[in-house]
């Protein structure tokens, strides 16, 4: 499976859940009187442990995406923790109960999400536009009958182009019979 098979919405959900969990881990570390720099570093280490624990969830596609996301975040946060002016600042008072509850909620949300997202292996049936004939002489004639939205999708997404071409080929087979 390829990483780009996740939908854009699934990627956004995973990114949001990952960042909420990371922020909750940072807050937990800060509640233990660690500086910002220490908190960022410790949260990254904890994220690695959580990812390793969830690696066996069975959804390779999701875990590959989240692992790549973690690597990118680790690179950005490591640079931030070394160059930030406030990296040695500590927070004096933090509500530890709220931090613990927020962390538990973030972990539950993250684990539920990585176990609930499935690969989009569903066959999508395309209904032809009502006024468009099911067969046009060449693919270019066929493409000329598509809506502006579909043309834009063809230009931006190779998978959409392949999907439309398959649809065209199948319509030719129907006409030829």
For the chain, the domains span 3-116, 123-177
Q: What is the pLDDT of residue 5?
A: 73
pLDDT digits (tens, 9 = 90+) for 92-115: 666 777 878 888 888 888 888 887
**Any idea what DSSP says for residue 125?**
P
pTM for the model: 0.59
DSSP per residue, 34-72: -BHHHHHHHHHHHHHHHHHHHGGGS-HHHHHHHHHHHHH
Q: What is the pLDDT of residue 165?
A: 77
């Amino acid at each position: 499976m390829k990483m780009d098979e996740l939908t854009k919405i699934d990627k956004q959900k995973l990114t949001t859940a990952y960042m909420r969990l990371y922020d909750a881990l940072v807050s937990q570390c800060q509640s233990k009187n660690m500086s910002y720099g220490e908190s960022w570093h410790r949260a990254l280490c904890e994220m690695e442990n959580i990812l390793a624990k969830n690696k066996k969830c069975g959804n390779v596609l999701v875990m590959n995406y989240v692992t790549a996301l973690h690597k990118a975040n680790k690179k950005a946060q490591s640079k931030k923790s070394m160059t930030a002016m406030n990296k040695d600042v500590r927070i004096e008072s933090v509500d530890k109960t709220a931090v613990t509850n927020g962390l538990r909620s973030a972990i539950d949300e993250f684990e539920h999400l990585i176990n609930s997202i499935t690969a989009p292996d569903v066959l999508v049936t395309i209904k032809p536009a009502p006024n468009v004939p099911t067969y046009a002489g060449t693919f270019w004639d066929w493409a000329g009958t598509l809506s502006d939205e579909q043309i834009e999708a063809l230009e931006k997404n190779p998978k959409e182009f392949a999907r439309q071409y398959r649809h065209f080929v199948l319509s030719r087979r129907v006409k030829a019979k």
